[in-house]
Each structure stands twice: as structure tokens, then as C-alpha cells.
Structure 1
Amino acid sequence: MTDETHVGLSRGNFSRWITVGAGHVAMVAGTLLALELVWSAGPSRAFLGAVALVVVLEVLLVWILFDEGTPISAKPAQSPRDATEQSVTLATWVTIARAGAVVVLAGFVATGLPTESGIGPWAPAALFALAMVFDAVDGAVARRTNSETAFGSRLDVEVDALAILVGSVVAIAAGTLPLVFLAVAVARYLFVAGRRWRTWRGRSVSTLPANRLRRPLGGFAMLAVLLALTPVPSPAVSYWLGLLVAVPVLANFCWDWLAVSGRFEKW
């Protein structure tokens, strides 16, 4: 990152961080109120505690993105001053709303999936689906309004990864996904950490090659988590489906790691 694009936590960005954090908390509160209407048991203290923990983690994530110098805008036509002073866009607010759904979903880690009658048992799947469906919406809004930003793009990727992680942990805790699926949930984090470790050690890191399987396998992983969060199919079906999906997804991550670590060049 060059000095021209590094914006860090300037006074303007600190103000934006406060705004984003407050907006995020407000969206989480609104989602909790909506959940209260469809879930007869209602959120417990443990549920709210888990939600509060993930809220803090997500607000810290935004802080880190600013502090790392992820620019609000990286459009070549703009000066550094313009890039620093541009407000958080509508598309980014959509991403933050997605993050709010993920936060509330995290509460079910503490309480397990709802089992009472009515539409309450569908709430976890609905929250996960909301986070996934709006993944396409924020990108479309950014392109339609010509407001694509480096910060919004990075935040979008992080929310995607967190949604898979939280959804997987909820399902694993409920017994509707196998424990091995946790490897799928953390594979992206391990992959990024591995690349940074190699860079820090001064080792070569190759460009990630094109891979036609990466996107469809990611879609299958999302589908496996979604089905595991719904009352149907049976836990046994979603469990074995998750196991079936985990194998090729993890194999593909291993293939990508061999590529970026230069293993192919040695063969």
C-alpha cells in the first residue's frame, strides 16, 4: 500500500468508524426486535452475550481495515484528499446490514437451534440466507451508483467469510454438520495467514491462479450451511451432505495453497 492510498485512522476516518459502528449496532438491535416477533422463546442472556461479543469483533474489524490503510475510495481519478473524505457508500451500508444478520445468527451458538413449533426454527436459516442473498445486492448497488470502493470490497469479503464461519459453528454445535466442516469455515483464514507468514519469512508467494471450481464449490459450501440451519432435511441428511461438500472444498484449498506457495514450480 502506497502513501497515496493509505488513509488509516485520520480524524475523518475515526468519525466514519464511529458512524459505522453506531449504525451496525442499530441494525443488530432492529434485527433482534424482528427476531423477537417470530421466536416465541426469545433471546436468552447467553444469546445476547454471544451477539454482543460478535458485535465487538465486527466493529474491531472495521477499525483494523481503516488502520491497515484500506482506502474509502481507490478510484484512480480521485486525489488522495477526495479518497479520504468520501463518505461510506450506500453499498457499504448494505454490507453492514449483512454483517448485522451474521451477528444475530451468532447468538444461536449459545442456545442451539430453536425447536419449538411455528416459524421460529426457520430464523437461523433466514438470517444466514439474508447475509448471502444481499451479498449480490451490495455489489450491484455499488456498480449501479458508481461507488465501488476498496474498503467496501474488503469488508464484503470479510463478511462473507464470517457468515460461513458463524453459520458453520452454529450448525456444528447443533449436530447438523460434521466437525470436519469447521475446517471449511476456517480454511480462508488459514490461507490468508499462511500467505502473510510466507511474506514475513521472505518466502515467495505466487499469484493465485484462476480456478473454475472455486466459485461453485463456495456456493455448495453456503448451501450446505443453509440446509444445516433449517428444520428440514433431517440432521442426518444435512450432516452427510456437509461431509460430502467438505472433501472437495478442502481439496481445492489445498490445490490453491500449492499454487501460491510455489510448489507447482518445483515439480
Structure 2
Amino acid sequence: MTDETRVGRSRASSPCWITMSAGHVAMVVGTLLALELVWPAGPSRAFLGTVALVVVLELVLVWILFDEGGSISAKPAQSPRDATGQSVTLATWVTIARAGAVVVLAGFVATGLPTESGIGPWAPAALFAVAMVFDAVDGAVARRTNSETAFGSRLDVEVDALAILVGSVVAIAAGTLPLVFVAVAVARYLFVAGRRWRTWRGRGVSTLPPNRLRRPLGGLAMVAVLLALTPVPGPAVSYWLGLLVAVPVLANFCWDWLAVSGRLERG
């Protein structure tokens, strides 16, 4: 791809990125206002500062993914549409709303989990649940409206990974998940970085083989994080549950790494 083509696509992407950014910020502000209603203490300056930082990081991520383009995954009987002009679909907005919930959840890294009486202590778990539950919604909407895009698919995966990362860090900081769980939170990022490093070094990278445990273990990790963010069953239970979940999840990542690095084939 020529530099002129990349510059032209970047300019064409700018209006859509601005629209998505404005919508994302509006969703974050709306979520913060809703949080004020259920959290008597309210967001502190440190909380809002953390939220602002994560918003900036997410907007940079959206720009990178959107600028990469990618065609619509249309049905065989249909021709792909231009991704730059039509990537911002209803399903994409659902994903962006999920990202907004994750951004606000990140604020609890600075303040810790709420301990007041009422429904405030349930707010972190609710934010994480929104990010996870609507993971099924954006995909269903995309398929129903035949508007699946490479950008939307990538963004969906990145929001999933970010939700696990942020939720884990909040819980670990609060002492409701063991420190080893940070390895679960960053495993996906290390896996992707490892594949790119091997490619850059000219080493072989095999296709990731099917794995029936990958999805159930991912769901189990989400449940562990969710329970760690709730007032019940309590820090002791969620701590040991997180420890038990971390072992098979990390073992499965190691197995996948052995597969893509070709070590299983040599064995």
C-alpha cells in the first residue's frame, strides 16, 4: 500500500472517528452521571482522572483499528461494501457503549471498590456485567443486520480483552483477586505480541487450532472477575476462586502458544 493511499484513507476515516469519539465520550459522561445516583461518595478527582486517561487510550485504539480498514463480511451473494464509509454500524455503537462501561470501571482502580451501604458497592460489578452481557448483543445485531465489519470484529475483541484487564486490575487492587490473576489479564496481549515478534523475526507462526476449552475457560475467567467485583460472596471466596481459575486458563494459553509456535508439531 502506498503512502498516498494510507493518507487518503486516514482523511476519509477522520469524520467517522470524530463521530465515534463524540458518541463514546457522551456515553462515558452519561454513565458517570448515572453512577452519581447510586454512589453516595461519588467519583473523586483521581477517579475522573483515571477515566479521562483510559478514554484517551481507547480513542487512540479506535483510530488505529478504524484506520486499518477492512471490508464488510457480507453474505456470499452480496458484494462487500466500503469499510471506511460504512463501518460505524448499530452493532459498532453497541460495542462502543460496552467500551464506555469499561472506561468508567477503570476509575475504581484509583479509589478502590465502594464500601458504603446501599447499591453503590454493586456498581463495579454492574459495569463489568454490562460490558460482558452486551458482548453477545453486538454480534447478534451485526449478523441480523448483515453489517459485520473487520473493524467491528477487531473492536469487539479488543473491548473484551480490555474489560478483563480493567476488571482484574480493579479486583486485584481491592484484594479480591490474587496477584497471579494479572497474568490472566495480560495473557491475550502477551500472546498477540509473541506472535508478532515471531513474525518480525521471520520465524514460523502456525494457525491457531480449534480448542473446545478456549471459550468455556474465557467465560470462567469472566465469572471470576465478576464475583470479585461484587460484595458477595466476599473477598476470601473470590480470591481462592480466582486462584483456581487462573491455573487452567494460563495452562490453556501456554498450550495455544506451543501450537502457534510450532512446538507441538515438532513433538
Question: Could you say which TM-score interval applies, normalised by the shorter chain?
Answer: over 0.9
Contact kept? 1:180, 1:243, Cα under 8 Å: yes
In the other structure, the counterpart of 2:23 is 23
How far 1:40 moved relative to its partner? 0.3
Q: Distance in 2 between matches of 1:139 and 1:260?
A: 26
In the other structure, the counterpart of 1:73 is 72
Is 1:141 matched with 2:141? yes
Return the letter of the residue paired with 1:134: F
> Unpaired runs of 5+ in structure 2?
none
Is 1:240 matched with 2:240? yes
- Report Cα offsets for 1:45-88 as digits up to 9, x if no partner: 00000000000000000111123x232635474467x3332251
Is 1:98 matched with 2:98? yes
In the other structure, the counterpart of 2:181 is 181
How far 1:208 moved relative to its partner? 0.3
- Report Cα offsets for 1:67-126 as digits up to 9, x if no partner: 3x232635474467x333225100000000000000000000000000000000000000
Q: Distance in 1 between matches of 2:162 and 2:245?
A: 19
TM-score normalized by structure 1?
0.94
Return the letter of the residue paired with 1:73: I
In the other structure, the counterpart of 1:253 is 253
Q: CA RMSD in A?
A: 2.0
How has the CA–CA distance of structure 1 residues 233 and 17 changed in structure 2, closer, same or farther, with 3 Å as cutoff? same
SS class of match (2:259):
helix
How has the CA–CA distance of structure 1 residues 204 and 221 changed in structure 2, closer, same or farther, with 3 Å as cutoff? same
How has the CA–CA distance of structure 1 residues 73 and 42 changed in structure 2, closer, same or farther, with 3 Å as cutoff? same
Q: Distance in 1 between matches of 2:102 and 2:151?
A: 19
How has the CA–CA distance of structure 1 residues 98 and 232 changed in structure 2, closer, same or farther, with 3 Å as cutoff? same
How far 1:7 moved relative to its partner? 9.2
Return the letter of the residue paired with 2:118: G
Q: How many residues align?
A: 264
> Unpaired runs of 5+ in structure 1?
none
Q: Distance in 1 between matches of 2:230 and 2:8?
A: 41
- Report Cα offsets for 1:109-165 as digits up to 9, x if no partner: 000000000000000000000000000000011111111111100000000000000
Contact kept? 2:66, 2:84, Cα under 8 Å: no
Contact kept? 1:198, 1:205, Cα under 8 Å: yes
How has the CA–CA distance of structure 1 residues 25 and 103 changed in structure 2, closer, same or farther, with 3 Å as cutoff? same
Contact kept? 2:169, 2:182, Cα under 8 Å: yes
Contact kept? 2:73, 2:147, Cα under 8 Å: no
SS class of match (2:96):
helix
Map 1:92-171 to 2 at 5 A.
92-171=92-171
SS class of match (2:156):
helix
TM-score normalized by structure 2?
0.94
Contact kept? 1:102, 1:127, Cα under 8 Å: yes
Contact kept? 1:205, 1:260, Cα under 8 Å: yes
Contact kept? 1:6, 1:71, Cα under 8 Å: no
SS class of match (1:10):
helix
Q: Distance in 2 between matches of 1:59 and 1:72?
A: 21
How has the CA–CA distance of structure 1 residues 57 and 72 changed in structure 2, closer, same or farther, with 3 Å as cutoff? farther
Q: Distance in 2 between matches of 1:186 and 1:24?
A: 24
How has the CA–CA distance of structure 1 residues 170 and 163 changed in structure 2, closer, same or farther, with 3 Å as cutoff? same
SS class of match (1:202):
coil
Contact kept? 1:99, 1:159, Cα under 8 Å: yes
